[in-house]
Amino acid sequence: MKDFTAELAELDEQSLRRTLRWLDGAQSREIFLDGIEGLNFASNDYLGLANHADLKTAMLEGVERWGVGSGASRLITGSMTAHGMLEEKISELKGTEAALSFANGYATSVGTVSALVGKGDTVILDKLSHASLIDGARLSGATIRVFPHNNLEKLERLLESCSKTDSRVLVITESVFSMDGDVALLGDIIRLKNQFGALLLLDEAHGLGVYGENGMGLSEYLGLSSEVDIHMGTLGKAAGVAGGYIAGCRDMVDLVVNKGRSFIYSTAPPPAQAYTAMKALELIVSEEGKHRREKLWDNINYLSQKLKIEGTSAILPWHVGESEEALALMESLKQKGIFVPAIRYPTVPRKTARLRITLTAEHSREDLDLLVGKLVG
């Protein structure tokens, strides 16, 4: 039997070993990482809400009103007023009949996908779908089919091949792909899923807060919200707090309440978390939220133009290739006070290691110029 030390040594040899890096203080534009002070280009806190004064106040208020823990799963006695307030806000903003919240996005994906499809059904995923969606599909017992990233021809063929049965077919895609920062061909995907009578789950983890007049995501921006059967997302990225949600028709949500194992067999998230997330959504649609979104897009447009890469989201990949090279570049930037994470196998395919630059509304022009100087000299 191979011992743990040997397995870790193997990871080390391939430059694939991961270790935790410790952050001092709050998430913000400037952080202390492993004791070094520098600029944070590594957070998904796109609007800079994680350390927002109003949200800190909301969290404290939530604790005052409801204590720190929820004490039970939602179906026992853990469904508290704050969870209901959050869900009402989500369905109002998404324009759906109902919504359901979870402790985080991971639990949302796993619980929802495995509740909505099962043995005999089919899940069709974009090849670059997030691990949580893949895990949900595996757990469901449904047949899993994968189409190459954004490849509509292949998606059409897959839909065709399973359209003859009366079992459920669920197409899954993300609005923004988390490691490449590019977007789904949502209009075409919707046309196809409608043509073949399939359902669509859209994961807006990196879309919420970033796109659309109200910041409700790519589906809002493209005017396609009502065509999405299952809206999904996290409240831990642009919303700056923690949690996950789905939104859609009442029966879909009720089915997840009844069959979503990560929902049923888990203590409800702290009510103060749900309350703060609700306040974060209010902030996202407010004038201030709009202003922060504009600032974020100014930053995206500026940096992508300077680095001559596409800027379709707040995630800008700087391609390197080999894992060792990406790690070395990350280290050298870190020593110069710039934090950009290296992303490598197995998160992305081998030989496609990259630095994953994430921008927020908090970055200044000078911050971006500093990064550009270090990357392209």
Catalytic residue from among 45, 87, 126, 174? 174
* Residue 112 vs 323, nearer CB to ligand PLP: 112
Catalytic residue from among 83, 130, 231, 363? 130
Q: Is 203 a catalytic residue?
A: yes
Q: Rule CB under 6 A: which residues touch ligand PLP?
A: 104-106, 109, 130, 132, 174, 178, 203, 205-206, 234, 236, 244
Q: How many CA atoms lie within 13 A of 206 on its CB side?
A: 24
Q: How far apart are CA 281 and CA 99, in angstroms?
A: 14
* Residue 186 vs 368, nearer CB to ligand PLP: 186
Q: Is 178 a catalytic residue?
A: yes
Helix/strand/coil for 195: helix
Q: How far apart are CA 272 and CA 69, in angstroms?
A: 8
* Residue 236 vs 271, nearer CB to ligand PLP: 236
Q: Is 104 a catalytic residue?
A: no
Q: Is 174 a catalytic residue?
A: yes
Report how far apart, in Å, the C-alpha atoms of 128 and of each of 71, 138, 147, 283 are: 37, 15, 9, 31
Catalytic residue from among 44, 114, 132, 299? 44
* Residue 104 vs 167, nearer CB to ligand PLP: 104
* Sole residue written with tokens 């799963």: 73
Q: Is 237 a catalytic residue?
A: yes
Q: Is 130 a catalytic residue?
A: yes
> Which single residue brings its beta carbon nearest to ligand PLP?
105
Evaluate whether 201 touches 232 at the Cβ level (below 8 Å).
Answer: yes
Run of H or E residues at 4: helix 4-13
Report how far apart, in Å, the C-alpha atoms of 124 and of each of 210, 227, 234, 261 are: 26, 17, 21, 21
Q: Is 97 a catalytic residue?
A: no
Query: Which amino acid is it at 333?
Result: L
Minimum distance from residue 4 beta carbon to ligand PLP (Å): 26
Catalytic machinery residues: 44, 130, 174, 178, 203, 206, 237
